[in-house]
Chains A and B, each alone.
Chain A
Amino acid sequence: MVAAGRILRDVAKFLAPVGLALMVGAGARFIIQGQLDLIGQGLLVAGAILVLTYLVAFPSEALRVVRARQTRYGSNTAVLIAAVAGILVAANILGTRYHYRWDLTRTGRFTLSEQTRQILAELKGPLRAYAFYTEGVTSEDRIRAEDLLKEYKNASPLFDYEFIDPDRDPSRALQYNVRLYGTVVFEYQGRRQEATSVSEQQFTSAILRVVRESPKKVYFLVGHGERDSSSFDRPGYSEAKRALEANSMNVATLNLTTAQSVPDDADAVVIAGPTRPALPQELDALSKYLARGGGVVMLAEPDTPQPFVDWLRQYGVQVGPGVVVEPGRAYFGDPLTPVVDTYEPGQITRNLAATVFAVATAVTRTAETPTGLVYTDLFKTTDQSWLETDRSVARYDPGVDTKGPLTLAMTVEGRFPGSDQSGSAQNGRLVVVGDADFAANQWAAAPGNNDLFLRLVSWAAKQQEGEQLVSIPPQPSNEPNLILTSQQQNLVFLSSVVFLPAIVLLVGAIVWYRRR
């Protein structure tokens, strides 16, 4: 009986430490998981029971520990350290909330412009940026992106950013519809806008668009064999749709035989390569839409059905007839695939990369055009090209075929026939391109193709350009280059790697020698 009591007492010694350990384990589980699950609760309860058992079973023992000198001093120290830690944590929380940043660079390159600060001050909810960069590759671009995003974050407590490696986290890349490394997606109240190059101008315009502008609504006309905006096939337009959606545009389809008129919320209607004729009522609905200030993007293939061709003619635009043959600037030598790398000056095509077109036709102005419309050519083929009307032989026949340069795309803007001429009506916008393939998935990888489609639709939908939203001059790089002769290079290397440490060692040796 006595022996049993001793064993019990020995076991009891471990009750309190084991109990405390279990409770610490429960705490750790809570910290890691962010919530106390069943196992954590079990640990906590078991630990508490053990400790309580100890206290109840051996009250005198417990009292002795509490009264010990070490415990008293130890707990004093613990309280003091906890108090100091508490004060420091509070100081840092306040210090993070109310802080000031000095930009000591000569050019002020880490100081955001006033325009950026204003838009960040307007935020009413969280704005998140997701930057898609490969991890481990510290490119200049990535550093600049992070520098910039960090300043945005410091300027607004509602802004935060995250770097995502699209290779390691392909599902996130898919979720945000990201196609290129180096894309930054800004998300605000469920809306998204991407920026594909790094500058304050780009980032702030993207933020402005996602914060201030309501998304534009773009309809793809269906019912005449047009390209399918949801198809991932080579002729499909899923990439084009992606580009629109990544730039604050909502995409839907429009069937005019059932809708009868273009919906009021339409900012633009895209007619992508129709192959079957349209009913007069449908074309009439489109005309009314243009007349009330709408935007239409017509992508016409060489064999566009006659009703569409006639419909365009009434606005002074002739598509075809014929196929563009371009021996001068052909894609890998295929004369039916013209490449365009120089554009007519203008906002839509400014700084646009090279674009590729496949089996295109020409877009020309008719001799008679309605009044009140302004025509602008966007780009042309070379003067070696011609518009071949006889599909069986690709040979320039003077007098029959039209000689280049041929216009491949044109914009028409103004009061369209039938519009309310009293003054309150808005200008309508019509874009006509002699090709529908350039925006298809098949050609989406060509440098400027996707961008061109995006810019055309965005112009038709009257979405404001970044330059119109904000204008932030680019920061000059503040590091001058260092030009050294080879002697100077040697001096830099030797003096910093060899001489300087050697001098210190020498001094040390002298001191050591003299003390000996």
Chain B
Amino acid sequence: MGIRAILAITAKELNSYFASFIAYAVVAGFLFVTGAFFSLSVLLSRQVNLRFTLTDVAIILLFVSPAITMRLLSEEQASGTLELLVTSPIREAEIVLGKFLAALVFLVIMLAATAYYPLLLISYSQPDPGPIAAAYLGLFLQGAAFISLGLFISALTRNQVVAYIFTFGLLLIIWLFEAISGIFGGQVGSILSSLAFYNHFVDFPKGVVDTKDVVFYISVVVFGLVLAERVLESRRWR
């Protein structure tokens, strides 16, 4: 697997992200909503605590990350360029990894912009840096998992809107598995709740980093990427 091929795809993809106005609009919308959550929570609670603000950011990522991934593979299918890519000497795994990295870089830039909130708090008071750092680690891992699944859905359809809706639906369902688990109870319930994104995320903004949550997110990333790669590969024989 060629690192250069991957990076070439990443660079091309990032270029097309930042060449379009839509990417800026997505980031601006994201910052508007997180900014509202942040300022209201800080001004109303009067506490130097970002635990709940950063948990809200994770929920907003549910809405925003499908927008990052919706066009990655579906657009190429619609315009027919995917055929070119797939028939080129570049392997499917390289395409998937390249596009994943590009979306991940986009996510990091977006999250980096929200660092404005903790910096603002630091200028007024002494917030505890541990929970904030942990929360950002959690947001990064969660965002990576979202992107990986979004990439897989985007490989399944040539329609961006369909990709967005299905990705959002999938992420929301998995986020809510904990609530759903209560309906089933028993063994099924405990399996569902162990898969719930929410359960794996909640500890990060408290300032607690657990290896089992990290392992979970990395597993989701790997699984989503493998699925996406398999879908692309299946175009050879379908």
Q: Which residues of A contact B (CB under 8 A)?
A: 31-32, 34, 69-70, 73-74, 77, 80-81, 84-85, 88, 91-92, 95-96, 99-107, 110, 147, 150, 154, 478-484, 488-489, 492-493, 495-497, 500-502, 504-505, 507-509, 511-512, 515
Contact = CB atoms under 8 A, between A and B. Distances in A.
Contact of A77 (B27, B222, B234): B234
A504 B130 contact: no
A150 B38 CA distance: 26
Nearest to A73: B237
Interface string B103-140: 00000000001001100110011111111011000000
B207 A110 contact: yes
A103 B31 contact: no
Nearest to B134: A104
Contact of B215 (A95, A106, A504, A515): A95
Q: Which of B38, B117, B127, B206 has the most CB of A within 10 A?
A: B206
Interface residues of B, number: 63
B19 interface: yes
A84 B21 CA distance: 38
Contact of A80 (B32, B134, B230): B230
B138 to A, nearest CB: 11
A154 B212 CA distance: 11
A505 to B, nearest CB: 5
Q: Is the interface of A mostly helix, strand, loop or mixed?
A: helix
Interface string B14-55: 000011110111011101100110110011001111000000
A11 B26 CA distance: 53
Contact of A500 (B19, B116, B186): B116
A138 to B, nearest CB: 10
A482 B210 contact: no
B210 A99 contact: yes
Given A88-B222, A92-B216, A501-B32, A81 B227 contact: yes
Nearest to A95: B215
B113 A500 contact: yes
B25 A104 contact: no
A507 B211 contact: no
B56 interface: no
A496 B38 contact: yes
B87 to A, nearest CB: 17
Most buried by B among A147, A481, A500: A500
Contact of B47 (A81, A481, A496, A502): A481
A148 B107 CA distance: 32
Given A70-B237, A489-B43, A495-B120, A99 B212 contact: yes
A106 B130 contact: yes
Given A92-B212, A511-B21, 13 more contacts: A34-B187, A70-B238, A74-B234, A91-B215, A95-B211, A96-B194, A100-B211, A101-B209, A479-B127, A482-B124, A504-B113, A507-B24, A512-B21
